[in-house]
Structure formats: C-alpha cells, structure tokens
Structure 1
Amino acid sequence: MEAATASVTAGFILSGLIIGAVFGFILQRGQFCMNSAFRDTLFMKDFTMFRAYLTALVIMVIGANILEEMGAIVLKRQTLYPLANIIGGYMFGIGMVLAEGCGSGILYRTGEGLLSAWVAVFGFFMGIGATANGILNPLLLLLKNESSSLSLSGKPNAALWELIGNGPAIKWSVISVVSCMLLFFILRGKPFTVKKPEGLSWPATGVCVGVMGVV
C-alpha cells in the first residue's frame, strides 16, 4: 500500500515537473502575460497578445468540457460572489499594473532573474497569507458569506449555458456560439501579418497555452 502511494506521489511530482517546465518554456518564449495583453489593447491598440489569450481561452473551454463529457475530470464551478469578484478583480488589476505582470508573467520573469518579479512573488505569498489566515481574513469572510452569493437558475454556481437551459445540446450550442464569436474577433483584420522578432508567434503561443491549460 505504501509502495503504491509512493509510486503515485512520485508520478504526480514527475508529471508536475515536466508540465511545469514545458509550460514555463511556452510562457517565456511567447512572452505570454495578461498585463501586457490588456495594456497593449487599451493603450497601444495592439491586439496581438490579446488574440493569443483568446485563442488559449477557446481551446481550454472546448478541451476541458470534452474531458468532462468523457468522464476524465469533474469541473468544479465556483460559487458566484459578485462583490468579491468585482473587488478582487479590481485589486488584482491594480496589482498587475504595479508589479508590471500578471501571475504567469511574473513567474516566468523570476526564471529570467528579474529582481522585481521575485519581490512581486513575495508579495503574492504575503497577500495569500493575509487573506487566508491573517488580517484580511475577516474581509474575505464578509465578502464570501452565503448571503452575498448570487444564485442563477436556482444554482449558486451555474454555468453560462444553464442560464438558458440544461442538456448537452444546449451546452455545446452555447459553447459553439461563444467560440465562434471569439474566433471572429481573433481572425478579424490581418492578424497573421504581425511578426515577432524572436520567440513563439502569437498563434503558436495561444495554441500551446491552451493545450497546456487543458492538460
């Protein structure tokens, strides 16, 4: 029994190291960062990185739901706490701007040896600790109590398609419509004329990040 447990644990560690190394390589070579994606979109009207993000999003939505349909995984949808989501998203956005990188961007920049990225990672852990067990925990409990959750279609964690109905047909119809809308935005204009001086192109980055997200 102990040998089997040790074998499974070793398998998890080994697979985690391999997937982490591959994912880190993709992030670094593609310079994939949500802070850069939103900044370039809003202030420079450059949609290159945002296209990569949307490409990854489409692949992950489709891939994860296929795996769920196959019974390989169970998607644990989170309870909707509107106020907590808004405040948390706003604070995270401020943090991305101040740290000059999102979670993924900061992590691969630590691998590049950037001192400011290491400081930001330290800030991540301080923030997590303060919220989970420290001075900010009362605020967390206030924002995520049962009375502050929002139920849609009779569920506190309803999926998007459940706002319309239930069943595989409705689910995949909604996923198809949303995916087509995103693909329309991704492919509009002349996106493939954008060339990077080095590293992965935005289509390759988006596809690779999406596949790794599913894995």
Structure 2
Amino acid sequence: MESTQLVILAGLAIGLVYGVVGLLSGFCLMSSMRGFLAKGDARLVRTYALAMAVAITVSQLLAGSGTVDLGKSIYLQQTFSAPVLFLGGLLFGYGMVLSNGCGSRALVLLGRGNLRSFVVVIVLAIAAQMTLKGLIAPARIALVQASQTTINANSLPSLLAMLGFGEAASRALASAAIVVALVLFAFAHPAYRRSPGQIAAGITVGLLVASGWFVTGYLGADDFNPVPVTSLTFIAPIADALQYAMLSTGLTLNFGIATVAGVFAGSLVTALVTGNFHLEGYSSPRHMMRSGSGAALMGIGGVMAFGCSIGQGLTGLSTLAVASFVAVAGILLGTTAGLRGALRVQPLAAA
C-alpha cells in the first residue's frame, strides 16, 4: 500500500474514533467553558485539559525521539502575524458560542441527526474557503503581510534553549511544566476523579492528536510523495471536504478530508447503535441567523488563526508553538466574551 493511501485510511480511522468519543462524551471546548463559567460544572473542561496533557506528552516524545519532525507543521513557523492569529481566535471563539459548538462538534451532532449542524458545517466551509482562496483572501493576506514578524524562538523549548538549556532538556522542562499543571488541574476535582468515561475520553482524544502526527509525519514520510505533516484540525479540512464533495474530479483525498468523513461516520453509527439518532431543526428564523453567523465567524476566524479549538487548542499546542498560544488566547477570550459580560450571547428563550 502506498504511503498516501495508508495516511488516508489512518485519517479515516482516527476520525471514526473521534466521532464515537465526541458523541458519547460531549467533548467540546465551548461546552466545557459553558459548564465551567456558567453552570459550575467543571468536568468537561477538565477532560479538555487532560486531552491537552496527553497530546503534549506523546507528541513531544515523538518529536524528541526523531520519529516525527513537528517543525514541518504549519504551527512551528518563525514568521507569523500575532495580531491576525489573535484576532482570528477572537472571531472563532465568539462564533463558537453563537453556533453553540465548534466545527468538530457540529460534525458530531450532524451524525446524530442535528440539522442545525448541517447549516453550521456548510456555512463554515464556505466562509473558510472564501478566506483561504476566495473574496476575503486578499484582505487576510494583506493583514498578515502588514503585521507579521520573525522570531528565532518559535516554541517554548526554543525559548528555554536561548537561556542555555540543551535541546532535550528544554523540551522536557517545557513539556513537564505544562503537563503537570494540566494533570493537577484535571484530577484536583473529586467529581472528575469519579468520572471514568470523561477520563477515558480525555486520554483517547489526546492520543488521537499524537496518532495524527505519527501517521502524517512518519507513515507519510515518503521522499517521492510526501504528505503534509499535520494532525486533528477541522476548519480547512471541512472546507476541503465540501469542495471535494462538489468537485472530486481533479482533486485528491487527503488526511483532513478523510478525518472529516470519519468523524461524521463514527458519530452516525454510534447514534444509530445507541438509539440516539433523531432529527432536530431550528426553533425560529432568528435562531438560524445566529447559528449561521457564528459558523461564518468560525470559518473566517479559524483560517486567520490557523486552526480551531481542536486544530490550535490541542494539535497546535501539542507542538508548544508560540503562535499557537497566541491563537488559543484569542479563542479563549472570544469564547469567554460570548458566555459572560457585556457581549454575552443571550439564551434563545430570552433573545
């Protein structure tokens, strides 16, 4: 089997597992933060923290052993625009609240029969493609060119290396500091320690992120036909999947498209098997408009931020890239603004 075919099949398998876990556990950054900030339920946010800890640990082990070169990913670039990354994160985070979930969550809920998610996925894909290659692309490129900067230390380990630490020590220290903090945060909550399903979900999602790096960075490392080194992310892949569905002739399958298909299929099969499949729609035209607006913001912001709550929040941060911390800060602030304060998105019943 050629390496590209192996990568596609592996991407499909990773997506299938994510779809199953996402549906059964409710894994989602927006739901996590809503529970943490508004409802006082911190279990889901601790699942996200655990997933991040696992993703960082295993990804950095792969990088430190030389198995995968994370430097070939889009996250560890020395030239980037911090303002555009942060602004994109803000737009994505706020859009996520308007749409009641991120792109990956929309795929999972679509498999369960949620027709609102169908609108979110389509609008997100169109807005992302417009920002990547369409009408909005020139403005995005101009903003990046006007504000980009070049730094020598593009990751936390490289920052420590500038202080005199060796490469291996820098990687170990940076990883350990973050992972220990995340694990302590996750398991400090008694109710979370009594939630084996959520613990399993966090570990599984973190391993899926590392698996994506292994698949594309090791199995796909063909000198004659290399594939981009990447892992779980959903903004550009959803846009590519829609384009492939419409114009498959002349286009090629890739890891991201296969992952998107796998997430939907995994969720659909799980919903059917467990009896949780049922059709849902919008409660009002206003509901649809708000959801669609949020999807557009996620598509635009996700492209500007080089990823989503999964693509930057887990995959990007697993590389310990400075740019990813900037984007995630924007995502968290945008989500918080949508859940609390003057810019809070009001519940539909009160809207």
How much does 1:189 deviate?
3.4
Contact preservation (8 Å) 1:33, 1:105: yes
How much does 1:8 deviate?
3.6
How much does 1:9 deviate?
3.9
Match of 1:205 in 2: 201
- Between stretches 101-110 and 159-168, larger displacement belongs to 159-168
- Counterpart residue identity of residue 48, structure 1: R
Residue 214 in structure 1 maps to residue 210 in structure 2: yes
How much does 1:187 deviate?
1.8
How much does 1:193 deviate?
5.5
Change (3 A) 1:43 1:148: same
Match of 1:150 in 2: 149
CA distance in 2 between partners of 1:173 and 1:91 (Å):
33
Change (3 A) 1:8 1:187: closer
SS in 2 for 1:134: coil
What do residues 60-114 of structure 1 show as CA deviations (whole Å, max 9, x unaligned)? 1111111112222111214442111111011101211111111221111111110
What do residues 13-46 of structure 1 show as CA deviations (whole Å, max 9, x unaligned)? 3222222211211111111111101111111222
- Counterpart residue identity of residue 210, structure 1: G
Match of 1:63 in 2: 58
Change (3 A) 1:22 1:189: closer
Contact preservation (8 Å) 2:54, 2:206: yes
SS in 2 for 1:201: helix
TM-score, normalised with respect to structure 1: 0.86
TM-score, normalised with respect to structure 2: 0.54
Match of 1:47 in 2: 42
1:26-175 equivalence runs, <5 A: 26-75=21-70, 76=73, 77-78=76-77, 79-145=79-145, 147-152=146-151, 154-155=152-153, 158-165=154-161, 166-175=166-175
Match of 2:320 in 1: none
CA distance in 2 between partners of 1:181 and 1:38 (Å):
18
CA distance in 2 between partners of 1:55 and 1:112 (Å):
25
Which structure 2 residue ranges, 5 or more long, are not aligned? 212-351
Identity over the aligned pairs, expressed in percent? 27
CA distance in 2 between partners of 1:183 and 1:23 (Å):
21
- Counterpart residue identity of residue 164, structure 1: L
CA distance in 2 between partners of 1:189 and 1:12 (Å):
38
Residue 186 in structure 1 maps to residue 181 in structure 2: no
SS in 2 for 1:73: coil
CA distance in 2 between partners of 1:150 and 1:182 (Å):
30
CA distance in 1 between partners of 2:168 and 2:61 (Å):
11
CA distance in 2 between partners of 1:46 and 1:93 (Å):
20
How much does 1:194 deviate?
5.3
CA distance in 2 between partners of 1:9 and 1:183 (Å):
35
What do residues 106-158 of structure 1 show as CA deviations (whole Å, max 9, x unaligned)? 1111111100101000011111111012221122112221x522344x34xx1
CA distance in 2 between partners of 1:175 and 1:150 (Å):
25
Contact preservation (8 Å) 1:110, 1:118: yes
Which structure 1 residue ranges, 5 or more long, are not aligned? none
Query: RMSD of aligned C-alpha atoms?
Result: 1.9
